[in-house]
């Protein structure tokens, strides 16, 4: 048993540490409450059952003692692991690192852990990361670009939240999306407002709903303005792939596009190289836009006009939706807003 002494400088108890591992009984004694109250507070089920002051006293006692619940025993007793799998495309940009950060932060606040699992090559079947995913996990959050990996790991048989996925055809119990369509609308309105009428769309060569939305929305917005034309060049999501595709498209016969709309910032970086290889200048000869607002966007010269996606908020909302599904609640509705960030890569088209 750990000895307790009261400190005049603190509102809660000060606990002398013991060489033995503290128990919930020690926490209860230090806080002056029952073990049942300790269980409620540390299990985040105290609201409406104990006061805020009591809950804080229990948390402080647990911190002072260095108490950690025996999660293995608790999970065995309750029949779940409080572990979530986050399945994303291969980690080729910092965007999905941000998604993980946001998801893990919300998970930690609710006593869950998050295992990050990049699907090989971003799409296609993936090896089961556990002997039995169903036995080891409470739920799955998955990006649409990694959806094909779910069958291989049997994640589609668990409580599932889909990110960046068609709500009408989602595999999941809930879907969380960024408002990508509005991001494309903002890009189109910005470039049209500058006077651009000849466009090249550098499209990600990935069979995914989120990229279908980009193409569909851009085509619709440009078609609504008389005298506007758009060509499409497909490229893998890599700088070298974008360089090759953009250079070929820009060197093709016919009037050269004055605005190049890229599906993401990495494609835009490849487009920059293609433009300069052809002896053109950004934005004097051609304007370029991206979509993501990665750190790369401000490393380019000139800095890239792009759509800011809040990756951490995306991850937070995904985890909050999964928690709602697990608890039988309705997840928060509505897409996450996005914002066009105008920088030096866009300007009115040259009159020459």
- Do strands 339-341 and 259-262 pair parallel, antiparallel, or not at all (unpaired)? unpaired
> Which one, of 29, 41, 23, lies nearest residue 5 by Cα?
29
The domain defined by 81-177+312-327 folds into Rossmann fold (3.40.50)
Structure confidence at residue 1 (pLDDT): 36
* Alpha-carbon radius of gyration of the chain: 26
- Residues 260-278 have pLDDT tens digits of 999 999 999 999 999 999 9
Q: What top-level class would CATH report for the domain 24-69?
A: mainly alpha
pLDDT on residue 7? 35
Domain positions in the chain are 24-69, 81-177+312-327, 180-308
Confidence (pLDDT) at 269:
97
DSSP letters for 316-342: HHHHHHHHHHHTTPPPPPSPBP-EEE-
Distances (CA, A) of 151 to 11, 68, 302, 309: 53, 35, 43, 28
Q: What is the pTM of this model?
A: 0.74
CB distance 287 to 328 below 8 Å = no
The pLDDT assigned to 155 comes to: 53
CA distance 7 to 18: 18
Segments in the chain below pLDDT 50: 1-19, 71-79, 122-126, 130-133
Q: Say how far residue 268 (Cα) sits from the centre of its chain.
A: 20
pLDDT, tens digit (0-9, with 9 covering 90-100), for 151-189: 555 555 678 898 998 888 777 788 999 999 999 999 999
**Could you tell me if 286 and 258 are in contact, meaning their C-beta atoms sit under 8 angstroms apart?**
yes
Give the whole-number percent of the chain exceeding pLDDT 70.
Answer: 80
- DSSP-assigned beta bridge partners for residue 307: 340
Q: What is the CATH number of domain 180-308?
A: 3.40.50.2300
180-308 matches 81-177+312-327 in CATH topology: yes
């Amino acid at each position: 048993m750990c000895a307790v002494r009261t400190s005049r400088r603190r509102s809660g108890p000060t606990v002398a540490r013991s060489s033995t591992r503290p128990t919930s009984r020690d926490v209860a004694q230090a806080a002056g409450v029952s073990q049942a109250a300790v269980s409620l507070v540390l299990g985040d089920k105290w609201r409406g059952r104990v006061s805020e002051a009591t809950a804080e006293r229990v948390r402080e006692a647990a911190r002072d003692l260095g108490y950690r619940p025996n999660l293995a025993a608790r999970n065995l007793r309750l029949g779940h692991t409080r572990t979530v799998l986050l399945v994303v495309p291969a980690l080729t940009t910092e965007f999905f690192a941000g998604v993980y950060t946001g998801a893990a932060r919300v998970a930690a606040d609710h006593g869950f852990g998050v295992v990050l699992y990049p699907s090989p090559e971003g799409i296609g079947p993936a090896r089961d990361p556990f002997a039995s995913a169903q036995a080891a996990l409470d739920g799955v959050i998955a990006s649409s670009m990694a959806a094909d990996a779910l069958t291989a790991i049997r994640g589609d048989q668990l409580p599932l939240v889909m990110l960046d996925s068609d709500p009408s055809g989602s595999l999941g119990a809930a879907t969380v999306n960024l408002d990508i369509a509005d991001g494309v609308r903002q890009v189109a309105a910005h470039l049209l407002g500058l006077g651009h009428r000849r466009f090249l769309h550098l499209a990600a060569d990935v069979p995914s709903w989120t990229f279908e939305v980009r193409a569909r929305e851009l085509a619709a917005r440009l078609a609504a303005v008389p005298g506007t034309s758009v060509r499409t060049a497909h490229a893998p999501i890599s700088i070298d792939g974008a360089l090759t595709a953009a250079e070929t498209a820009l060197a093709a016969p016919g009037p050269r596009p004055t605005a190049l709309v890229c599906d993401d910032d990495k494609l835009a970086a490849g487009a920059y190289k293609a433009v300069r290889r052809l002896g053109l200048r950004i934005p004097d000869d051609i304007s370029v836009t991206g979509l993501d607002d990665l750190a790369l966007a401000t490393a380019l010269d000139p800095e890239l006009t792009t759509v800011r996606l809040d990756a951490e908020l995306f991850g937070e909302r995904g985890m909050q939706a999964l928690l709602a599904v697990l608890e039988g609640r309705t997840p928060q509705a509505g897409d996450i807003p996005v914002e066009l960030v105008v920088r030096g890569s866009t300007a009115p088209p040259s009159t020459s």
